[in-house]
Amino acid sequence: MRAFLLLGGIFANKGQSGKSRNGQNFLAIQQDIGDLVRIILPVTEPDVTTAPKPNHIPDLTIVVPCFNERENVRPLVDLLDKALAGLAWEVVFVDDDSPDGTAKEVRAVGRERFNVRVVHRIGRRGLAGACIEGILSSVAPVVAVMDADLQHDETKLADMFALFAADPALDLVIGSRNVEDGSVGTGLSAFRKWGSDLATSMARRALKITATDPMSGFFMVRRESFNTVVLSLQQQGFKILADMLSASKGSWKMREVGYTFRERQHGESKMDSAVTVEFLSLLAVRMTGGLVSIRFILFMLVGLSGLVVHLGVLRGMLGLVPDQFALAQTVAVIVAMTSNFVANNMLTYKDRALKGRAFFRGLLSFYGVCSVGAVANIGVATAVFAVLPYWAFAGFCGAFIGALWNFVASALVTWKS
């Protein structure tokens, strides 16, 4: 009924518009038309809590590296909502192409609210690399890192952020289980707690770190400070905090906030023996001043295991065919190369692990790479021995050049990114 009355008013004003010289009736017609449109086509006001805000720049970004954590996405966002009320924040889930649909779930949440987004990584794996990419994707002045498994106490984030607001010179705040008001709670088994304590002690001594919990995956860093060390960080591995502390060379101003480590709610832990090996490799990388990478050290360790396999197979074959050394040596070489390929595929290049037909194609290419490496080994060792007739030194030079060739060539050919 109101629409019809407005229509009548519009025509009445139109009839009088010719008599008006100051344009007031024309403005009245425009206003009436606008009212009519709003009645016929009502406009829904956007929800300010979820509508996109193109000019919104968060004060804090929370980076959450994840793999197979779909069930934890919405609960974590809800917890952050409560813990960070009053702050301008966003959360970035960095997903390593989880088969359970984690990235899809984050995108679904992101369509409902402006401060949730995902970095979906394809062909790349590893917590450290995921954290680096997530932090670099942020425009916030302060960035936090926490796990997706709900074991980190999100209620401490506001306290950690407040420390940055109070001290412009502060570089890093660590959520620590080893200070007052902090504990491992029920989040770790007795064996894992022992391993964590041992790793903490090793990192503090080897890398000269003063932080009580360098193994923590819960921390907050000033973005500008992170930029000063990012180029020297290792993208492979799980313990990015220890790497950052070592790279800062003790120049960062740091604070620690105690928290209680909680039990995982959904999904499975990513901790395994490979994480331990990667951590030890990180210590070696930092102790050598970053001259070598974690991947190179892992490749060398696999090579040493291959030597053990080679000698074991050679001895076994000579027990079966004592008069056929050439045959025994050939079998030992093939088995050792196969063993090295499998170990490297599972450990050194697990972020690029080959599967299905690609596995067998990779194995053949690895045979080819190692064959060239063997020729280089023999050639270099022979040349060195001709100049310096010390068999051990010559053998080491040949083995090193052969291993270096195998590492570089297999990265370019077998496990090319």
373-405 pLDDT, tens digit per residue, is: 888 887 888 888 888 888 778 777 887 888 888
Lowest mean pLDDT among 29-43, 103-117, 260-274, 288-302: 29-43
Please report the pLDDT score of residue 363 as a whole number. Answer: 92
For residues 398 and 387, what is the distance between their CA atoms, to the nearest angstrom?
Answer: 13
Please report the pLDDT score of residue 188 as a whole number. Answer: 57
Question: Scanning the structure block, which residue is given the tokens 């040349």?
Answer: 383
Token pair recorded at residue 96: 């390593």
Q: Convert 170-197 to b/e letters by CB count within 10 Å (16 or more is b).
A: bbbbbbbbbbeebebeebbeeeeeebbe
Give the pLDDT mean for 165-187: 83
H/E element, 200: helix 190-206
Please provide residue 200's backbone torsions phi and psi, each rounded to the nearest 5 degrees. Answer: -60, -45
Q: Which range in 20-24, 107-111, 257-261 is most confidently predicted, on average pLDDT?
A: 107-111
> When comparing pLDDT for 416 and 277, which is higher?
416
For residues 280 and 301, what is the distance between their CA atoms, to the nearest angstrom?
Answer: 11
Residue 221 pLDDT level (bands cut at 50, 70, 90)? very high
CA distance readout (Å), 152 to 219, 258, 307:
10, 11, 42
CATH architecture under which domain 60-287 falls: Alpha-Beta Complex (3.90)
Q: Are 164 and 142 in contact (CB under 8 A)?
A: yes
With 60 as the cut, is the pLDDT of residue 29 above it? no
Token pair recorded at residue 156: 């401490």
For residues 333 and 354, what is the distance between their CA atoms, to the nearest angstrom?
Answer: 22
Please report the pLDDT score of residue 160 as a whole number. Answer: 95
Please report the pLDDT score of residue 18 as a whole number. Answer: 44
> When comparing pLDDT for 252 and 52, which is higher?
252
> When comparing pLDDT for 346 and 53, which is higher?
346
Please report the pLDDT score of residue 333 as a whole number. Answer: 82
DSSP annotation of 111 reads: T
For residues 413 and 352, what is the distance between their CA atoms, to the nearest angstrom?
Answer: 12
Residue 30 pLDDT level (bands cut at 50, 70, 90)? very low
With 60 as the cut, is the pLDDT of residue 42 above it? no
Please report the pLDDT score of residue 142 as a whole number. Answer: 96
Please report the pLDDT score of residue 50 as a whole number. Answer: 43
Please report the pLDDT score of residue 309 as a whole number. Answer: 86
Residue type, 368: G
> When comparing pLDDT for 40 and 208, which is higher?
208
> Domains of the chain: which residue ranges?
2-40, 60-287, 294-413
Can you spell out the DSSP letters for 30-89? Answer: HHHHHHHHHHHSPPPPP-TTTS--TT---SEEEEEEESS-HHHHHHHHHHHHHHTTTS-E
For residues 393 and 300, what is the distance between their CA atoms, to the nearest angstrom?
Answer: 18
Please report the pLDDT score of residue 293 as a whole number. Answer: 76
Give the pLDDT mean for 91-105: 92
Please report the pLDDT score of residue 135 as a whole number. Answer: 94
Task: Please give the model's pTM, rounded to 2 decimal places.
Answer: 0.66
With 80 as the cut, is the pLDDT of residue 12 above it? no
DSSP annotation of 22 reads: S
Q: Could you give the percent of the chain with pLDDT greater than 70?
A: 74
* Contacts for 60 with CB less than 8 Å, ≥ 6 apart: 84, 87, 88, 89, 90, 140, 142, 143, 144, 157, 161, 220
- Report the mean per-residue pLDDT for the chain: 79
DSSP annotation of 171 reads: -
For residues 347 and 352, what is the distance between their CA atoms, to the nearest angstrom?
Answer: 10
For residues 27 and 24, what is the distance between their CA atoms, to the nearest angstrom?
Answer: 5
Q: Is 345 helix (H, G, I), strand (E, B) or coil?
A: helix
In the β-sheet with 219-222, what is the strand arrangement from edge to edge?
Answer: 116-120, 89-95, 60-66, 142-145, 219-222, 172-176, 254-258
Q: Are 333 and 359 in contact (CB under 8 A)?
A: no
Give the pLDDT mean for 258-265: 79
With 70 as the cut, is the pLDDT of residue 191 above it? no
Q: Could you give the percent of the chain with pLDDT greater than 90?
A: 30
Residue 120 pLDDT level (bands cut at 50, 70, 90)? very high
Token pair recorded at residue 343: 């170990």
With 70 as the cut, is the pLDDT of residue 218 above it? yes
